[in-house]
Every structure is written in C-alpha cells, then in structure tokens.
Amino acid sequence: MPYVGAQPQTGRFIQLDSITASATDTYALTKNSVAFRPATAEQLIVSLNGVTQAPNDAYSLSGGNIIFASNLASTDVIDYIICLGEVGNSVVPTDGSVTTDKLSSTISRGGAANIRVNPNSLTVDTTIASGENALVAGAFTINATLTVNGTFTVV
C-alpha cells in the first residue's frame, strides 16, 4: 500500500477482500477468502462510493460481518475495507523482542543483568500505599512529600 511520507513502522494494516454491493446491509468480511473478524468497528477504514464511513454510525460489526446502517444498492461500490490490526490495542510482545533500549532508563544497559538504577533524590510527591513495598539504594535525598503507608527501605 503506498503512503505519503514515511511508511508507518507499527501496526498491521490489512486490506480485506473486495465486496460487491447488493440489496442488503450485511456482508461477510474475508481475507484471502478466509473469514476475518476484527475486534472493533473502529479498527476499520471503510470507503463506500469514495467516501470514508464513520464507524458505529455508517456501519457496525457483528462477529465477522459488517452491517451498514441501511441497505446498499447494487450500484454502490465498496471501494475498500482496511483493518488497522493491532494499532491502539494491547498486545503481548514476542519473547525476546524487547531490548533494554525500549525500556526505562532505570534499567542497566550494556549487558549487566539484574541491575536496577534508581535516582538519588525524590522530586515528586509520592505515596507508598498500604501493602506496597518500596526500596532505594545508596544516598537518597527527599525533596518532595513522601507518604509511607506501606514499607520504605533505604539500603
């Protein structure tokens, strides 16, 4: 699929199989002739007669079917339906795919395993709730309000 500017580096953009309009409002969604079931209507970009349709207003989903707000005519053209895949949804990364460069700077880089780096001062008001434990190592200065309802340990 061509893009103006840089191609998106995230998400899975899937163009679904063509659908020929007829005198009905419900159509089965497929990809490579296999039933396709998007998670939400908002995941779809639907073009009907050259006009992008609003999810949940112009169409809705029921399982693997798209249901338009009214019956289409055989002269209507469903130009395309693109599914935005997992964009905006929570996904589980593949094992081994997350590196320390993608994590907080408080985790040691350079291959040192199991080393956590903490700042040397508290600068934002913080509460440690009852049932929570907090730990800092080394010299630590408190420059904000620290409310401890649980356990706070300085090593």
- Give the total residue count for the chain: 155
Name the DSSP class of 70.
S
- The pLDDT of residue 112 is 55
Burial of 89 (0-12, 13-18, 19+ CB in 10 A): exposed
Q: What is the DSSP letter of 107?
A: B
Token pair of 84 as six digits: 């935005």
Mention every residue, 6+ apart, whose C-beta is less than 8 A from residue 42: 55, 56
pLDDT attached to residue 119: 83
Query: Residue 14 in contact with residue 31, Cβ under 8 Å?
Result: yes
Mapping DSSP to helix (H, G, I), strand (E, B) and coil, where does residue 133 land?
strand
pLDDT at position 152, please?
A: 92
Q: How far apart are CA 22 and CA 10, in angstroms?
A: 35
Averaged over successive runs of 10 residues, the pLDDT of the chain (155 residues) comes to 54 87 93 90 94 96 94 94 69 69 59 69 92 89 93 91
Decide: residue 30, CB within 10 A, 0-12 exposed, 13-18 middle, 19+ buried: middle
User: Which among 108, 105, 134, 109 has a CA at the least distance from the CA of 122?
Assistant: 134
Domain ranges of the chain: 14-83, 100-154
